[in-house]
């Protein structure tokens, strides 16, 4: 994908790209685009590295989110205190490094910029990101963040393969310039991992509990079956 993006940027084909993410998502992908030859090509989703047991990844993702996203986007269903507790970050470190829009650790993550002002800047107010991965899917968000490319025709100088003419600028551009391709993908993976946790903090616990509930029901099926046979053995 990175090779494709660089090629498109180098050839200046931003204006020729058209994407239909909605229909492609129905087909299990992240969109389609029209190449230089006018052929519609399918854009497959990259698999997001979601792992709620990797606290280091979640902690790094929280740092990236607060530094690169929280200035414009809110996450109104998430409290800073929940980040400290669930991600095992000492509260004093959360207060010092992660609370960029408030001075109360019990507050939610709210962007402090007037939505009307943001709309005048970007053409639309940035959405709340609390549930973005549940709305779009982990893989969609991951692929979207990896799919920005240079496009001088756009107001912010960038466009996106997954979401054509996205109002959002490529806020991770400096990070991408400073890191290798693999390092950048790792950082974006941590960010999406954190966003997935943010959207459903109990996802991992839910899956673990669900596994044991199903296992319990399967074991319970044995005595229930035998008891049923015992009750009905004399019925002709």
> Which is more confident, 1 or 13?
1
> What 3-state DSSP class applies to 119?
helix
88 CB neighbour count, 10 Å cutoff: 11
What tokens does 36 get? 């230089």
Looking at the chain, the whole-number percentage of residues with pLDDT higher than 70 is 87
Would the pLDDT of 53 be above 60? yes
Task: With CA atoms as reference, report the closest residue to 68 among 176, 181, 196.
Answer: 176
The pLDDT > 90 percentage for the chain reads 67
**Beta strands per DSSP E along 53-161:** 75-79, 108-109, 148-150, 158-160
Cα 191 to the chain's mean position, in Å? 7
Whole-structure pTM value: 0.80
Q: What is the mean pLDDT of residues 196-222?
A: 96
Give the three-state DSSP class for 166.
Answer: coil
Report DSSP state, residue 34: E
Calculate the dihedral angle through the C-alpha atoms of 140, 146, 148, 149, rounding to the nearest 10 degrees. -140
| Paired tokens of 106 | 């019990």
Instruction: Give the pLDDT score at 119.
Output: 86
Cα Rg, the chain, nearest whole Å: 23
Query: Nearest-5° angle of CA 183, CA 186, CA 191?
Result: 130
Residues 136, 29: Cα–Cα separation, whole Å: 12
Q: What is the pLDDT of residue 236?
A: 60
- Report the pLDDT value the prediction gives residue 107, as an integer from 0 to 100: 95
- Residues listed for the chain: 236
Checking if the pLDDT of 17 tops 90, the result is: no
Q: Which tens digit of pLDDT belongs to each residue from 115-147?
A: 888 888 888 889 999 999 999 999 999 999 999
148 near 184, Cβ under 8 Å? no
Question: Can you tell me the mean pLDDT for 78-86?
Answer: 96
**Helices 55-64/181-199 angle, 10° precision:** 90
Q: Is 4 exposed, middle or buried (0-12, 13-18, 19+ CB in 10 A)?
A: middle
């Amino acid at each position: 994908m990175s090779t494709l993006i660089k090629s498109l940027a180098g050839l200046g084909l931003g204006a020729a790209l058209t994407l239909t993410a909605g229909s492609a998502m129905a087909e299990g992908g992240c969109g389609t685009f029209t190449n230089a030859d006018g052929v519609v090509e399918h854009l497959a989703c990259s698999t997001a590295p979601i792992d709620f047991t990797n606290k280091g990844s979640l902690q790094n993702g929280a740092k990236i989110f607060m530094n690169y996203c929280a200035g414009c986007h809110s996450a109104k269903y998430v409290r800073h205190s929940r980040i400290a507790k669930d991600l095992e970050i000492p509260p004093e470190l959360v207060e010092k490094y992660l609370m960029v829009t408030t001075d109360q650790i019990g507050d939610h993550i709210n962007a402090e910029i007037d939505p009307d002002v943001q709309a005048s800047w970007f053409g639309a107010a940035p959405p709340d990101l609390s549930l973005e991965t549940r709305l779009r899917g982990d893989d969609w968000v991951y692929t979207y963040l990896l799919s920005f490319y240079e496009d001088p025709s756009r107001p912010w100088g960038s466009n996106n393969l997954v979401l054509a003419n996205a109002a959002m600028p490529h806020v991770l551009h400096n990070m991408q310039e400073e890191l290798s391709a693999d390092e950048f993908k790792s950082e974006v993976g941590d960010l999406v991992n954190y966003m997935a946790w943010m959207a459903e903090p109990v996802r991992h616990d839910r899956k673990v509990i669900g596994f044991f509930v199903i296992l319990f029901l399967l074991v319970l099926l044995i005595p229930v079956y035998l008891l049923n046979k015992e009750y009905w053995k004399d019925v002709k």
